[in-house]
């Protein structure tokens, strides 16, 4: 079993943190800070709770004046091992907890702390309180020479950033976010472009037509940009949106047939569903996106659909055999229920086969 993420905050990390702070602030009481960190509730805390607890505890052992405390942390951060990117987000959390009333000082600190880490969570409280000022700062960051700082402009403004507080204003009207994405859509860094794509995907969930229009406007200028757009449209593609599928060359299949379909009609919990089929066309198959959709039986006896891509590409041959399996081994992110499940085969968004099978 994988080590829980919360254990990233180990004794070794706290020792390194204490050492880094003590090098720039001789009055830091490492022993007292460590004791307060590993308190009686420590084992109960999950990852973000531990992060927040450490940041809060730092505030009890650093100077009360925010500007002095943040100067110490900025110097200490630069002495930390950058291999601790996720763990070092306690620095940004400190800004979120103690620095909301000190905009300019906090912006400078978050710019430092995001390098080889990320200030994507902390910046959001500033967007909520000072939307115009913060977004103006993000526009400046979007042109910064450091890719980590440019990425913060995109990642921090995502309306639906996982593990983070949502930004309802940007769900309703993402205009100011798109200004940032315009600057970053052709960024030289794949790290930044991936963030832009994820931001677009977030926007598509609330404003699908806007993302379609942007895609029409931006597509066809370079391979990197087209790849970004396709990743940014992944939710729309999985939803079999015919307009978006066509933008990426997946047109409605006309002469395609699906033949020789086989399926294990009964699967035991923990085992694999296996299925196969042939796709044929009198001419070449052409550009295809082949997916399967599982309708998982839920506790309420309804079915919840999940789309999985099998393959996609330009196929010059006239036929293609497809074999696939899906494991019903227990996983933490999905609960399986015994009973009738559903399977569909999609080609370029069109359903070619629908069947049911039992999970015992």
What would the mean pLDDT of 253-281 be, rounded to a whole number?
A: 95
pLDDT tens, residue by residue, 131-150: 999 999 999 999 999 999 99
- SS3 state of residue 94: helix
- SS3 state of residue 125: helix
pLDDT tens, residue by residue, 99-128: 999 999 999 999 999 999 999 999 999 999
Whether 3 shows a pLDDT value over 80: the answer reads no
Contact yes or no for 159/167 (Cβ under 8 A): yes
Give the rounded distance of the alpha carbon of 270 from its chain centre: 28
For 212, residues 6+ apart whose C-beta sits below 8 A from its C-beta are: 236, 241, 243, 244, 247
Strands 350-359 vs 266-267: parallel, antiparallel or unpaired: parallel
Which pLDDT does position 1 carry in this prediction?
52
Whether 84 shows a pLDDT value over 90: the answer reads no
First to last CA, the chain: 25
For 105, residues 6+ apart whose C-beta sits below 8 A from its C-beta are: 66, 67, 70, 99
Which of 254, 189, 263 has the alpha carbon at shortest distance from 224?
Answer: 189
Binning the chain into helix, strand and coil, the percentages to the nearest 5 are 45, 20, 30
Question: Please, what is the average pLDDT of the chain?
Answer: 96
Contact yes or no for 62/90 (Cβ under 8 A): no
Which pLDDT does position 2 carry in this prediction?
65
Which pLDDT does position 251 carry in this prediction?
94
Entry field: residues in the chain: 360
Sorting pLDDT into bands at 50, 70 and 90, what band is 333?
confident
Sorting pLDDT into bands at 50, 70 and 90, what band is 82?
confident
Which pLDDT does position 5 carry in this prediction?
87
> In sequence order, what DSSP letters do the residues of 294-334 get, joined into one string?
EEEE-TTS-EEEEEEEEEEEEE-SSEEEEEEEEE---BTTB
Structure tokens at 326: 């899906």
Count Cβ atoms within 10 A of the Cβ of residue 44 and give its class: 0-12 exposed, 13-18 middle, 19 or more buried: exposed
Whether 191 shows a pLDDT value over 60: the answer reads yes
Structure tokens at 118: 């990320």
């Amino acid at each position: 079993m994988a080590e829980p993420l919360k254990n990233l905050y180990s004794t070794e990390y706290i020792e390194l943190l204490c050492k880094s702070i003590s090098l720039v602030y001789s009055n830091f009481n490492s022993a007292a800070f460590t004791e307060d960190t590993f308190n009686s509730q420590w084992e109960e805390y999950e990852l973000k709770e531990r992060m927040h607890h450490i940041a809060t505890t730092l505030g009890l052992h650093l100077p009360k004046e925010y500007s002095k405390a943040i100067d110490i942390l900025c110097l200490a951060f630069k002495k930390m091992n950058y291999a601790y990117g996720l763990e070092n987000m306690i620095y940004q959390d400190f800004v979120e907890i103690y620095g909301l009333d000190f905009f300019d000082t906090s912006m400078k600190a978050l710019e430092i702390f995001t390098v080889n880490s990320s200030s994507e969570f902390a910046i959001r409280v500033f967007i909520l309180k000072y939307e115009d000022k913060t977004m103006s700062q993000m526009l400046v960051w979007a042109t910064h020479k450091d890719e980590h700082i440019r990425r913060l402009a995109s990642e921090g403004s995502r309306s639906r950033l996982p593990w983070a507080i949502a930004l309802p204003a940007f769900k309703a009207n993402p205009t100011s976010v798109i200004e940032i994405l315009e600057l970053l859509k052709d960024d030289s860094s794949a790290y930044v472009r991936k963030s832009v794509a994820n931001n677009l995907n977030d926007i598509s969930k609330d404003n699908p037509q806007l993302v379609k229009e942007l895609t029409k406007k931006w597509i066809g200028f370079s391979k990197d940009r087209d790849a970004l757009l396709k990743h940014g449209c992944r939710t729309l593609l999985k939803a079999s949106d015919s307009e978006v599928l066509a933008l990426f060359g997946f047109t409605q299949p006309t002469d395609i047939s699906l033949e020789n379909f086989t399926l294990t009609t009964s699967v035991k919990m923990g085992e694999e569903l296996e299925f196969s089929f042939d796709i044929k066309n009198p001419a070449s198959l052409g550009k295809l996106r082949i997916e399967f959709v599982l309708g998982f039986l839920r506790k309420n006896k309804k079915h919840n659909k999940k789309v999985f891509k099998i393959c996609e590409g330009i196929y010059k041959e006239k036929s293609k055999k497809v074999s696939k399996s899906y494991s019903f081994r227990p996983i933490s992110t999905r609960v399986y229920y015994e009973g009738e499940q559903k399977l569909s085969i999609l080609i370029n968004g069109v359903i070619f086969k629908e069947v049911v099978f039992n999970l015992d």
